[in-house]
Amino acid sequence: EDQVTQSPEALRLQEGESSSLNCSYTVSGLRGLFWYRQDPGKGPEFLFTLYSAGEEKEKERLKATLTKKESFLHITAPKPEDSATYLCAVLEAGNNRKLIWGLGTSLAVNP
Amino acid sequence: GAGVSQSPSNKVTEKGKDVELRCDPISGHTALYWYRQSLGQGLEFLIYFQGNSAPDKSGLPSDRFSAERTGGSVSTLTIQRTQQEDSAVYLCASSEKYEQYFGPGTRLTVT
């Protein structure tokens, strides 16, 4: 069964303490992998798309990387405003544009 | 430019009543998606539209749920004879290619 698994479920960091979130996936063919950020009471906010193994994308303190079976979201020197739930989703090769979503990692950054 | 908008932002209804939720996608986006998110849970796919047709409606929980899209733009999600388990945040997203952009959601409470 196609699925997306995110770990850890929750992560608490001190301000400035770098870490990584993991998204592992099992699909028969990957068209794209997506990272989103969701703040409480809001819709998910698009961050990155990765299409092929070895690809990397960066935005401020965030860097996303992709291998054939997993993706990492690296957070460098996080600030309290980085606190949010980070969601990973996968688009399988084919005509269906439905994303397969992970359950997210809830990140809290303490000042 | 304008993002995805949803109305109403909050809806409280009595069990057994029908409700309509509206989504205005980003102009020019051909695909539109409906999701449901219960408190502390992941995103549950409901249906997606490509233009005015729905290639995948596999996520609709029961025949009480229906959706339509007219003119390749606005979409309405209708829930008939609402039940307490329908209480959740209903999120709409639109896309031009693969990345989905979300609205703020409609919080539905069934009393």
Compute the nearest-CA separation of B80 from chain A (Å).
24
pLDDT digits (tens, 9 = 90+) for A66-91: 999 999 999 999 999 999 999 999 99
Tokens at residue A40, please?
């409480």
Other residues' Cβ atoms within 10 Å of the Cβ of residue B87: 17
- The one-digit pLDDT tens for each residue of chain B (111 residues) are 689 999 999 999 999 999 999 999 999 999 999 999 998 788 999 999 999 999 888 899 999 999 999 888 999 999 999 999 999 999 999 999 999 999 999 999 999
Q: Is B57 helix (H, G, I), strand (E, B) or coil?
A: coil
Compute the nearest-CA separation of B40 from chain A (Å).
9
Which residue of B41, B43, B98 is in closest CB contact with A49? B98
Burial of residue B98 (number of CB atoms within 10 Å: 0-12, 13-18, 19+) = middle
Q: Is B86 helix (H, G, I), strand (E, B) or coil?
A: helix
Q: Which residues pair with A56 in a beta bridge?
A: A65
Sign of CA dihedral B104, A103, B66, B17: negative
CB pairs under 8 A between A and B: 52
Q: Do A97 and B31 touch (CB under 8 A)?
A: yes
The confidence score (pLDDT) of residue B89 equals: 97
Q: Which residues pair with A71 in a beta bridge?
A: A23, A66
Separation CA B57–CA B54 (nearest Å): 6
Interface of A to B at Cβ within 8 Å reads 31-32, 34, 36, 42-46, 49, 87, 91, 95-99, 101-104
The confidence score (pLDDT) of residue B1 equals: 60
Asked if B104 contacts B3 with a C-beta cutoff of 8 angstroms, the reply is no
Q: Which residues pair with B20 in a beta bridge?
A: B78
Separation CA B39–CA B52 (nearest Å): 30
- Nearest-by-CA chain A residue for B34: A98
The confidence score (pLDDT) of residue A101 equals: 95
Separation CA B55–CA A105 (nearest Å): 30
Q: Do A31 and B101 touch (CB under 8 A)?
A: no
Give Rg (Cα) of chain B. 13
